[in-house]
Amino acid sequence: MSERAAPFYCPYCGEERLVPREEEGTWFCQDCVRSFRLKFLGVGAPQPTKENPR
């Protein structure tokens, strides 16, 4: 993951003191002491499926 993909704030507490972890796409928040993973899923609207027609 490139530097551009770094999160701006923790999704749990909203603080900004984040540290990248060793595994790609994982981050540690120094304020709430939680770790989380980011994954890019794609660009654009999801396509309808047979199970979820819209």
pTM of the prediction? 0.67
In this structure, are residues 2 and 38 in contact, taking their beta carbons and an 8 Å threshold? no
Neighbouring-strand partners of residue 26:
37
Closest CA to 20 of 37, 42, 45: 37
* 4 φ/ψ angles, rounded to the nearest 5 degrees: -65, -20
pLDDT in tens, 13-50: 999 999 999 998 899 999 999 999 988 878 888 788 77
Computed from CA positions of residues 38, 22, 5, 10, in that sequence, does the dihedral angle turn out positive or negative? positive
Our CA dihedral for 21, 22, 26, 30, rounded to 10 degrees, sits at -10
pLDDT of residue 1: 43
